[in-house]
Chain A
Amino acid sequence: MAKWIKTLSFLFFLLLGFSASARAHKSSDSYLVLRSEGERVEGQWDVSLRDLEYALGLDGDQDGAITWGELRSRQGAIADYLFGRLEIKGDGATCSIQPSGTLVDRHSDGAYAVLTFQALCPSAWKGLEIHYRSFFDLDPEHRGLVRFESEGGLKTAVLSPVKSIQTFSREDSPRERLFAFLAFVKEGVWHIWTGFDHLLFLIALLLPSVLRKREGRFEGVLNFKSAFFDVLKIVTAFTVAHSITLSLASLRVVSLPSRWVESAIALSIAAAAVNNFYPLFGGRRALIAFGFGLIHGFGFAGVLRDLGLPPSSLISSLLAFNGGVELGQGAVVAAFLPFAYWLRRGWFYQRLALVGGSCLVVGVATLWFVERFFNLELPII
């Protein structure tokens, strides 16, 4: 019985509070950054002072505080310890690591020693192999967070006792590049499909394309060709305009506050729809498409910015995203035009779709404008 109690009494240290996971700080991490320019590799390694204290004992005077002097005097031992547990290989050949200095930085869980170094690889390499073993014997929950920056962009890895080796290649393989490109195309298509406002704007502009005005009244156009060219003109104007601003904003030449842009997009939709029953701009719809297209381009750029453009493939990603937008837009127009052409002569199209539809669009766009401009959330939509 006495033994039971003894066992159990220890246990209460263990149990209480576990259930609540009142966790703090975090487990031990180090941050290893490797920058390669050509075959040169510059390294920066941030290692927590608490981990170094645990492994090597930095607090020389035993006062519970680690000073710069204490850290500085142990620089050699620290470098021996850390670089003895890190191996960098260029295409299989070991690179020699030359420590170049020790600095200090703070991370979210305390002070870190920052070791800078160069890795000198014996020959030209394409793949850099990292073998990481620091602290794993002392703390298997330790993780090595590696960032590899090169012409091919940024790559990261989390190294642990079970996965202590990582290879980074200096350039993306063509396959990786293709996938990255297609991912941006997909995002572009996706944004058109889900970003209802661009579609609505375009549809509002295209509704009258299958009609012509005679003596103040609408009637259906005579042949498909004239409708087709009208649509082509408008879509091209819209495309050219938004491509210009999308590029300018993505390359950070121009930037506008997103609230302003989103509100203006809502207004542009309302204006395009109003024009269908009350001539604001008359028949110059291609011109509206161009003018307002400039604003929509800023909207696309906002989405693209949220996706995060890889600096190494800025232009190709931009092209891919824009291409995706055009594809998505083209699909919608291709579905709309034959349908509208087929219905163009009836009362249904000329009254209900054109006037009724446009009124509806004005309503929706106005609500959007109010929401966006005044930063409100209306319960209706």
Chain B
Amino acid sequence: MFCNKSTALDPPFNETGRPYGRLVFALLIFFLTVGPVQAAPYLPQEDGKVLERLPDSPLDPEVKAVKQLKLALAQDPKNLSLALSLARRYIEQGRAQSDPRYFGHAQGVLSPWWNEAAPPVEVTILRATIRQSLHDFDAALADLNRILTLNPQNAQARLTRAVIFQVKGELAAAKRDCLSLMGAADSLAWATCLGGTGASRDELKKGRDVLQPLLAESAQAIPQEKVWARTVLAEVALRLGEEKEAETHFKEALRITPRDPYLLGAFADLLLDQGRVAEVVDLLKNETKADALLLRLALAEKALKAAEFPLHQQWLSDRFAASRERGDQVHRREEARFRIHLTGEVTEGLRLARENWEVQREASDLRILLEAAREGRDDFLLKMGIAWMNKVGFEDARLNTLARL
């Protein structure tokens, strides 16, 4: 009605740009009246129509190995060593693609032992890992505590526990666990664990001084170990306000694992902070499946006023709604950022940031808490965040302005 055929198809023929203006207006009216397009079930017309692309190619040797294991386990579901090895592969896949379905598969594989009070040690550690991925930190810690009471030398349990303590903001406890790994783990792993537990600038620098030379000497270390060390060094640098150095570490790490979701997210945050939004779009334009990365992409697109922004915002909104419908609460940090920085639903964002803070307390959780408190003018929450920083001695160059009363 607003847009006849010639207007839509002809190139602009005068300099006022009116044809485009009309097109935009027509689209606006269309979207206002039609609203978010609701898909409806349909009957595909051709057999060849591709409905879904699987995340991994069936020809991939890793995928083939998983398939073999799955078949073998189906014959013998209570075979512990088969189950452990399959569960580990699922967890690896889940992490590499940041896809929680694989964690569910791992849990299914371990189901003969899952509900036991004291399953075999290896199962318990994987159960703790899966519980951690569901943000059930207390249950995960209970599992690990049990193992460490029986055998304080279990390095795997101790390292996993150190990371959970770190996520919960219990940096002193994390540090104790990392320190006790000295000699038990190889030195790079030990130093990386320790490097992530610094609270003050002083501690951060000390940790870096230990880790950096060790990384330089460990040319033989496995790639994942190096990536972990680089990531910790980058995050330490960010908290010390050394963005250039952080960028170097991120890029080095991305050279080894270019599609690691966590690395991509952390690096994108640095770029967003520096206003390098076009680079964020370049980095993430093909990573729309991971919610956390889609969020960063949308933040950049919003700043660029990119055409994809409304669509990506809608996707995020749909995905958060779907998660909420099933009763998931693991997305609170991302959703808080979404509400506050993208949709402007400050009250809702504030609630999410507060609830998230009750569960996890990393630098980025603190940041969204403070940002939410400022946006929502919630002095109580702001003071709460600052009080925590003072108590723990937590310093972060990025939070200096945010954490001022």
Dominant SS among interface residues on chain B: helix
Q: Please pick, from B48, B129, B134, B318, the residue contacting A14 in the complex, using a CB distance under 8 A.
A: B129
Task: Tell whether, in the assembled complex, residue B260 and residue A28 are in contact, meaning their CB atoms are under 8 Å apart.
Answer: no
**A378 in the interface, Cβ–Cβ < 8 Å?**
no
**B394 in the interface, Cβ–Cβ < 8 Å?**
no
Task: Tell whether, in the assembled complex, residue B41 and residue A8 are in contact, meaning their CB atoms are under 8 Å apart.
Answer: no
A5, A67, A141 — most chain B CB neighbours (10 Å): A141
Task: Tell whether, in the assembled complex, residue B222 and residue A68 are in contact, meaning their CB atoms are under 8 Å apart.
Answer: no
A102 CB, min distance to chain B CBs, angstroms: 8
Q: Please pick, from B88, B98, B224, B260, the residue contacting A24 in the complex, using a CB distance under 8 A.
A: B98
Dominant SS among interface residues on chain A: mixed
Task: Tell whether, in the assembled complex, residue A24 and residue B99 are in contact, meaning their CB atoms are under 8 Å apart.
Answer: yes
A140 to B, closest residue via Cβ? B107
Task: Tell whether, in the assembled complex, residue A16 and residue B292 are in contact, meaning their CB atoms are under 8 Å apart.
Answer: no
Task: Tell whether, in the assembled complex, residue A66 and residue B52 are in contact, meaning their CB atoms are under 8 Å apart.
Answer: yes
Which A residues lie within 8 Å of B327 (CB)?
143, 158
**A69 in the interface, Cβ–Cβ < 8 Å?**
yes
Task: Tell whether, in the assembled complex, residue B291 and residue A64 are in contact, meaning their CB atoms are under 8 Å apart.
Answer: no
Which A residues lie within 8 Å of B321 (CB)?
108
Besides A15-B160, A50-B54, A66-B50, 9 other A-B contacts (C-beta < 8 A)? A5-B186, A17-B98, A22-B262, A23-B100, A27-B103, A59-B54, A59-B58, A64-B58, A108-B319
Give the interface size bracket for B toward A.
35 or more
Binary flags per residue of A64-75, CB closer than 8 Å to B gives 1, else 0: 111111011000
Binary flags per residue of B288-325, CB closer than 8 Å to A gives 1, else 0: 01111100000000000000000000010011011101
Task: Tell whether, in the assembled complex, residue B228 and residue A16 are in contact, meaning their CB atoms are under 8 Å apart.
Answer: yes
**A217 in the interface, Cβ–Cβ < 8 Å?**
no
Give the interface size bracket for A toward B.
35 or more
Q: Which A residues are closer than 8 A to B by beta carbons?
A: 4-5, 7-29, 44, 46, 49-51, 53-54, 59, 62-69, 71-72, 103-111, 114, 137-143, 145, 158
Binary flags per residue of B118-156, CB closer than 8 Å to A gives 1, else 0: 000000000001001111000000000000000000011
Which B residues lie within 8 Å of A138 (CB)?
105, 108
Task: Tell whether, in the assembled complex, residue A66 and residue B54 are in contact, meaning their CB atoms are under 8 Å apart.
Answer: yes
Task: Tell whether, in the assembled complex, residue A141 and residue B134 are in contact, meaning their CB atoms are under 8 Å apart.
Answer: yes
Q: Please pick, from B51, B57, B322, the residue contacting A71 in the complex, using a CB distance under 8 A.
A: B51
**B242 in the interface, Cβ–Cβ < 8 Å?**
no
Which A residues lie within 8 Å of B360 (CB)?
21
Which B residues lie within 8 Å of A62 (CB)?
58-59
Q: How far is the CA of A54 from the CA of B97 in the complex (A)?
A: 17
Task: Tell whether, in the assembled complex, residue B225 and residue A27 are in contact, meaning their CB atoms are under 8 Å apart.
Answer: no
Which B residues lie within 8 Å of A44 (CB)?
41
Q: Please pick, from B96, B108, B326, the residue contacting A29 in the complex, using a CB distance under 8 A.
A: B326
Task: Tell whether, in the assembled complex, residue A68 and residue B319 are in contact, meaning their CB atoms are under 8 Å apart.
Answer: no
Q: How far is the CA of A139 from the CA of B325 in the complex (A)?
A: 18
On whether A7 and B326 interact (CB within 8 A), knowing A65-B53, A105-B42, the answer reads no
Q: Which are the 9 A-B pairs with shortest beta-carbon distances?
A: A69-B47, A17-B262, A24-B290, A141-B104, A139-B104, A68-B44, A103-B41, A12-B224, A108-B318
Q: How far is the CA of A62 from the CA of B263 in the complex (A)?
A: 31
Q: Tell me the B192-227 residues at the A interface (CB within 8 Å).
A: 222, 224-225, 227
16 cross-chain CB contacts under 8 A = A14-B129, A23-B331, A23-B334, A25-B99, A29-B322, A62-B58, A67-B49, A68-B47, A103-B43, A108-B322, A137-B111, A139-B104, A139-B107, A141-B101, A145-B326, A158-B327
